[in-house]
Chains A and B, each alone.
Chain A
């Protein structure tokens, strides 16, 4: 079931996120190579599913649990699902901007936004580094600073 109860954090297999990040990186590379706004739109849908329903319900998470995890065995540890879900939402924002860029003919915007999303996905895939999560505290800090004038 998708997580709808804020009190109990959902635990996810961190290897599933790495797997999803690898697929995301490949798709974004393909987007940059072909300049396809449609492909980026598809990736935006994947991000949206991961952010709204949880990673297990995104297509990449489904592929992982069906094809990869049975071969790996049970995970050594689980992670809180909220950080990667936040990161998926950040990815969605960039994919949406890039999609508008490519589809409206502002190719530079499509390239810039896709490049930003690729940076985050690749850092996660290669180093397990969650850029979206790191940005979270900085956004909270700047938001309150603006609020206080």
Chain B
């Protein structure tokens, strides 16, 4: 007990992790406008399936991802309930070329494509249903 360094480090860790966690909770899964300038596209050839007639929800997943199954259920539900919208799940580990091109750092990462395959919105982390629905509307309106 004589050396307080360990306790001091523990206190710093708890404070830093709390700040990180709160920021993360706020930003996680937010569907954002993609970076301006460079237009990113995904083709049906790269996806292995045809694009949705109105919009496509592309989900990057790994086997070791705790929130991926929940996101899969959410996106598949939205795609099923919205005509012309398709959900495609990509195994990040086997498609590292796409992971690099789209700068996927975490899973799930969700890309919302319009009917031409242009990336309209993207989210790192599990998105909410309301966010997905409004992003789909935006993509379909293009």
Contacts and interface: CB of A to CB of B under 8 A. Distances in A.
Q: How large is the interface on A (under 10, 10 to 19, 20 to 34, 35 or more residues)?
A: 20 to 34
A contact patch SS: helix
Contacts of A68: none
B130 interface: no
Q: How large is the interface on B (under 10, 10 to 19, 20 to 34, 35 or more residues)?
A: 20 to 34
B101 to A, nearest CB: 12
Contacts of A127: 21, 24-25
Interface in B11-33: 12-14, 16-18, 20-21, 24-25
A3 interface: no
B49 interface: no
A84 interface: yes
Nearest to B70: A77
B106 interface: yes
B79 to A, nearest CB: 21
Nearest to B107: A137
A119 B62 CA distance: 23
Nearest to A121: B17
A141 B93 CA distance: 8
Nearest to A34: B1
Interface string A21-59: 000000001011111000000000000000000000000
Nearest to A17: B66
A84 B66 CA distance: 8
Contacts of A80: 63, 66, 69
A32 B14 CA distance: 12
B89 to A, nearest CB: 14
A130 B66 contact: yes
A86 interface: yes
A119 B106 CA distance: 18
Of the candidates A79, A137, A141, the one having the most CB atoms from chain B within 10 angstroms of its own CB is: A137
Interface of A: 14, 29, 31-35, 79-80, 82-84, 86, 107, 111, 114-115, 118-119, 122-123, 126-127, 129-130, 133-134, 136-138, 140-141, 144
Query: Which 5 pairs of residues, A with B, have the shortest CB-CB distance?
Result: A32-B6, A127-B21, A32-B10, A83-B66, A136-B64
